[in-house]
Amino acid sequence: MAADYFTRKPFAKVSLKEIASEAGVSAPLIIKYFRTKEGLLEELINFSPMKDLICEAAFEDIGATLADDAINGDRSSTGSLIALLMATAGSPAAVKTVTDQFQEVIGGTLFDRIRDEAPAVNGDEDAEQRCQYALAMYTGLGTVLVSYARGIPSEGADAVKSYGAHIQRVLETPTEVPVADAGD
C-alpha cells in the first residue's frame, strides 16, 4: 500500500498523511516508528527477490538475469531500482537511501559472485570494477526503457539475449586496475 505510493507517484508528492490514511493509521504513528518518509521508504525497499535471482543463476547467466530484470521487471515493485530511482529523483536523501540499499544488497551479492566465480579475477579491485560496470549497464538499460520514447532496438527474448551478452562480457572480462604511482 505505502510501497505503491513510492513507485506510482514522485516521492516529493507522497505525503505521510496520505499513506497513513490509506493504511488506516495516523501520520504520527508512522512518524513514531519510521521518523521520516525516507525512513518508511528504507523499510519498504525489498531487493531480496533480485538478490535471490542473482544467487540462483549460473554465473554465465547473470548478465541475462540482469538484462531480463531491466527489460521485463515489475516497475510497480519496491524491488525495482529503476522505479524507485524515477520516483525519488527529486529527493537527494531518498535517492541515497535507494542507492545505498541497492549497493549493499545487489552490489554486494554480485561482487561476491564475481570474486568467487568469474574467470581471471585480478583481486577485489577487479571484481569491484566489473561489478560496478555491470550495474551501470543494468541501470542505464532500465532508465533508457523508462525515459526514452525510442526504446531499444529489439524486444523480448532477443533484447534479453543481446543485452545480457554484453553485461556478461563485463562480468567475465578482467579490468585494468590502476596501480598507484610510488611518487603519488
Here the CATH number for the domain that contains residue 11 is 1.10.10
Give the relative orientation of helices 16-23 and 27-34 as an angle to the nearest 10 degrees: 110
Lowest mean pLDDT segment, chosen from 3-7, 75-79, 101-105: 3-7
57-82, pLDDT tens digit by residue?
999 999 999 999 998 888 778 888 88
Do residues 12 and 79 share a domain? no
Whole-number Å distance between alpha carbons of 140 and 166: 13
Nearest CA among 70, 81, 88 for reference residue 5: 88
* Domain match, 17 and 106 both: no
Phi and psi at residue 101, to the nearest 5°? -65, -40
Q: Are residues 62 and 92 in the same domain?
A: yes
Q: Say if residue 151 is in the same domain as residue 116.
A: yes
Which of 44, 37, 42, 50 is CA-nearest to residue 10?
37
Q: Is the domain of 32 the same as that of 73?
A: no
Phi first, then psi: give them for residue 122, nearest 5 degrees. Answer: -100, 60
For residues 36 and 55, membership in a common domain is answered with: no
Q: Give how far the C-alpha of residue 21 lies from the chain's centroid of Cα atoms, to the nearest Å.
A: 29
Place of cell 526504446: 151
Residue 102: domain span: 45-172
* Confidence class for position 2, pLDDT limits 50, 70, 90: low
The answer to whether residues 36 and 122 belong to one domain is no
**Domain count of the chain?**
2
Residue 88 and residue 94 in contact, taking contact as beta carbons nearer than 8 Å: yes
Q: What is the pTM of this model?
A: 0.83
What is residue 169's predicted lDDT score, i.e. its pLDDT?
94
What is the chain's mean pLDDT, rounded?
86
Same domain as 33, residue 50: no
Strand, helix or coil for residue 60: helix
Distance CA 8, CA 77 (A): 10
Residues 18 and 108 in one domain: no
97-117 in b/e form (b: 16+ CB < 10 A) is bbbebbbebbbebbbebbbee
pLDDT above 70 covers what percent of the chain? 88
Claim to verify: residue 154 and residue 78 sit in the same structural domain: yes
